[in-house]
Chain A
């Protein structure tokens, strides 16, 4: 039973990553990142089911609330305020993005391989997919033009960091995570405001245009 749930969690993380690479529609991306955040919030509960205690419950519930509900809602709001629905003309198109995603999955697999001996057989895929999520987020940041998509990439990366911490660190991963999450919180806040103002000033939120200011 636990094994099935773990498989389901791992698969959801994997498929949400593929969906993030695959689509150019922002509502779909936000939904995927929300599902991914929710599932990654559940992950420590599934992994540490035997020695679950009150603090773990509370932290997991906070994580689920933040990653799965609050941050996606903020993103949704800034999407509506900025009036963007699609990521048009990203630097890397969806077809190539998918193939690069496969390469990134293989890469994270290769990196995690030495850790294999220290992990139970059925847990092997959790750090692999956590690393994949990190790479995926970084790739989304560098390959997309719109500021909102880059924030989504940043959130994805943070999801990956959290999942990696939850899968490997046994005792106190959450203190570190809370610190990271605070950064993200601020990041989303600032970027949300920035997006809003960029939109007000220039009628578009294409970050690529900013680089022409240098000349």
Chain B
């Protein structure tokens, strides 16, 4: 169920963020469904391959997409079991996200362009800094809730109880920073710009075209959805009784998240590249503080 929701709605989520940004800028903005149109348009186009690329370049978008879809199979709807669920499955989820990133980085290096190599190095550096925060957060949660699968962690994180609830707030903030950084949202990277020296993610996909680019765009929408729903699962305390109510609550929380991201992107400027690692280390430190808090 979570898989179907994600596959259908993740481009809409991006569309909502763009719409909210347009609202803040006083523009009408592109239609909500623009990302679907983009995907359809790109799928109908032909592909251009540079003569310096190899099979790695051609495979990478589809490996990335496969990794994202597999990760979605592991990701549960908060409060419900997912397709694949076992103790420690969040490690596999993060490993799949790493596979996704690895294949995109490989493709970027495969083009032989120095510009893309630079983007790849930045992407790897920042995810290297973001991953400890992500892992530490989920270690803290599984320790505090004594549940070791995502299903158990997300089913009711607020049962962590009493003074330890504070750790949850720290983790929520930490995960939000990681969410923005990993999906190259605005304080860290601007998803709209091209040919800017500070961009991170976009620079890696400059050489992809046609269906390959569609695969990559769709993958990044899915990635945003994955991290977004992890954040929503941890930060929203409401678990309704019935299944449909829960789905509604979940979607409402996702809309809320889109509004938050849209507002943040409207009111913040992009930070200097050197400060990105700074913010990510703050995320790691917050997760570490949460760990100490929960042990105590």
Give 1 or 0 for each of A3-36: 1 = CB within 8 Å of chain B CB: 1000100010010001000100000000000000
Interface residues of A, dominant DSSP: helix
- Checking B281, B289, B295 against A14 with a beta-carbon cut-off of 8 angstroms, the contacting residue is B289
Give 1 or 0 for each of B149-178: 1 = CB within 8 Å of chain A CB: 000000000000001001000000000000
A15-B147 Cα distance, complex, nearest whole Å: 28
Within 8 Å CB of A109, what residues of B? Answer: 292, 295-296
- B285 interface contact, C-beta 8 A: yes
Residue in A closest to B283 when the chains form the complex, CB atoms? A98
In the complex, how many angstroms separate the beta carbon of A193 from the nearest chain B beta carbon?
A: 35
- Checking A3, A94, A106 against B292 with a beta-carbon cut-off of 8 angstroms, the contacting residue is A106
In the complex, how many angstroms separate the beta carbon of A185 from the nearest chain B beta carbon?
A: 32
Among residues 270 to 296 in chain B, which have CB atoms less than 8 Å away from a CB atom of chain A?
277-278, 281-282, 284-285, 288-289, 292-293, 295-296
Known contacts A7-B163, A7-B166, A95-B277: A125-B285 contact under CB 8 Å: no
A122-B288 Cα distance, complex, nearest whole Å: 20
In the complex, how many angstroms separate the beta carbon of A11 from the nearest chain B beta carbon?
A: 6
A127-B209 Cα distance, complex, nearest whole Å: 59
Within 8 Å CB of B282, what residues of A? Answer: 18, 22, 98
How many residues of B are in contact with the other chain, CB < 8 A? 14
- A189 interface contact, C-beta 8 A: no
Residue in B closest to A105 when the chains form the complex, CB atoms? B292
Within 8 Å CB of A3, what residues of B? Answer: 163
How many residues of A are in contact with the other chain, CB < 8 A? 19
Which residue, of A95, A102, A109, has the highest number of chain B Cβ atoms within 10 A?
Answer: A95
Known contacts A7-B163, A7-B166, A95-B278: A128-B285 contact under CB 8 Å: no
- A68 interface contact, C-beta 8 A: no
A18-B173 Cα distance, complex, nearest whole Å: 14
Among residues 120 to 162 in chain A, which have CB atoms less than 8 Å away from a CB atom of chain B?
122, 124-125, 128
Within 8 Å CB of B289, what residues of A? Answer: 14, 18, 102, 105
Which residue, of B166, B278, B285, B289, has the highest number of chain A Cβ atoms within 10 A?
Answer: B285
Residue in A closest to B287 when the chains form the complex, CB atoms? A102
Residue in B closest to A124 when the chains form the complex, CB atoms? B296
Are the C-beta atoms of B296 and A94 separated by less than 8 Å? no
Are the C-beta atoms of A94 and B278 separated by less than 8 Å? yes
In the complex, how many angstroms separate the beta carbon of A52 from the nearest chain B beta carbon?
A: 23
| Chain B residues within 8 Å of A, Cβ to Cβ | 163, 166, 277-278, 281-282, 284-285, 288-289, 292-293, 295-296
